[in-house]
Every structure is written in structure tokens, then in C-alpha cells.
Structure 1
Amino acid sequence: MKSGTYAVLSAAFFAGLALLGAAIAQESDYPNDPASLAIGRTIAEENCASCHAIGPEGESPNAEAPAFRDLSQRYPISDLEESLAEGIVTGHNDMPEFVLQPDNINQFLGYLSSIQVQKDKN
């Protein structure tokens, strides 16, 4: 392999590691103090509980709505930040559109992060 090719592959590898590290750090940076988690849960109760299971257990009222505790198995929780800031809009009529302020986004995502169930990889 030519040294130029190695340098490009090496740079791409380390850039990918940096992005992964940023995503991991970002999710762990959400507030996890009791007051913030309570606000995050209240946001979930007011905006999401009519369809989603918003706690660490229980079934979603709408069978097609994923339980919040399983969201990190679908995508990184941090992927929701932009949608929450701009207003979540979906293709179905049951989901309300709402926009959150930056502090509330972090509190909501902190709450979501706190209830995630990790699948056993055995």
C-alpha cells in the first residue's frame, strides 16, 4: 500500500473515532440530576405518553409507538436534538408537533438516556 493511501485511510479512521467519541460524550453530557430528570419525564408525560411507554417498563398505549426505553437500540439518543429544537413532525396525525427550548431538550434527552435498556450481547 502506498504511503499516501495509508495516510488517507488512517485519517479517515481517526476522524471516525473522533465522531464516535463525540457522540458518546454528547449523550453522557445530558443532565442526570434528579430535578432535570423530573423535568424531562414531565415533558415526556405531557407530549408523548398518550402513545409511547415513557418509563423503564410497561407497554406503549399505541402498539406501533416504540417504548422510550428502547430508543437507543434504534439510533443514538442525541439524534433527536435537532428535531426537538426545530419541531418534531411525523407522517402520522396522532403525534403532536412541539418545539423545546435548549435546556428542556437537554433535560428530556437526559431523561431518555437514563431509562435506556441495554440489550445483552451474548
Structure 2
Amino acid sequence: MRIFPGCLAASLALTNAAMALSPAEQRGKNFVLTNCSRCHAVDKVSDSPLKIAPPFRDLHLKYPVETLQESLAEGIYTGHPTMPVFRLEPDQINDVLSYLKSLE
């Protein structure tokens, strides 16, 4: 029975390592937490604070996340007037898309 606690600890360590975000994913997460989380759910479980704002974890169900690249570069415009327009730099786009893919 002494082996079990060691196996459990090793299993938890591997699980946490597998769940760790890459640097790009972490930067993307930081961006969406700062700029999007006031309205959108930006994690895998929360509800969106603004009910009409889709959770980011569901975006891939509507279209491939990669298709957002051009919109993020040029500015995303929606029919919702209070959503701010964001124009991201190429590195920021890569980071945000990396994070969004991690939510799939």
C-alpha cells in the first residue's frame, strides 16, 4: 500500500503538466481575460456574464477557430453595438487563437 500514494502523486503531476498552457496559450488567456471576460465566458465551464455573448469554448462548434484570424487583424464587428472592436497584432492573434483551440 505504500506504493499507492507515490503513484497517485505521480499521476497528479503528469495530469497537471498535461493541462498546463503553452506560453502562447497563456498569453492568449491573459488577453481574453483582460479584454473579453466582462461579457464572454473565457474558460471551459463558466456561463457568459452577458447572456447573448457566446462562451469562447463553443466558438469551434460554429466555425473553425482559424477563420477568426482575419477578423482579429481587421477588427471584429458584430450586430451588438456595445462590443468593442479589437485589432490585434499578428503575435496577439496567434496567442488568442492558441488559447481558443485549448478550450476545444
Could you state the TM-score of these two structures normalised by the residue count of structure 2?
0.76
The answer for the alignment partner of 1:90 in structure 2 is: 78
Could you state the TM-score of these two structures normalised by the residue count of structure 1?
0.65
Q: Deviations over 1:71-94 (max 9, x none)?
A: 111110011000000011112122
Matches within 5 A, 1:93-112: 93-112=81-100
Farther off after superposition, 65-74 or 32-41: 32-41
Give the secondary-structure state (helix, strand or coil) at the position aligned to 2:101.
helix
> Counterparts of 2:26 and 2:71 in 1: how far apart (Å)?
21
Identity of aligned residues (%): 46
- In structure 1, the gaps of 5 or more residues are 1-31, 117-122
Counterpart check, 1:43 vs 2:19: no
Shift in Å, 1:114: 0.3
The answer for the alignment partner of 2:17 in structure 1 is: none
- In structure 2, the gaps of 5 or more residues are 1-19
- The answer to whether the 8 A contact 1:52-1:67 is kept is yes
Aligned-residue Cα RMSD (Å) equals: 1.5
> Counterparts of 1:33 and 1:114 in 2: how far apart (Å)?
8
Q: Deviations over 1:27-84 (max 9, x none)?
A: xxxxx96221111011111221111100111100011111111111111001100000
> Counterparts of 1:94 and 1:45 in 2: how far apart (Å)?
18
Count of residues paired in the alignment: 85
The answer for the alignment partner of 2:62 in structure 1 is: 74
Segments of 4+ in structure 1 off by > 2 A? none
> Counterparts of 1:93 and 1:102 in 2: how far apart (Å)?
25
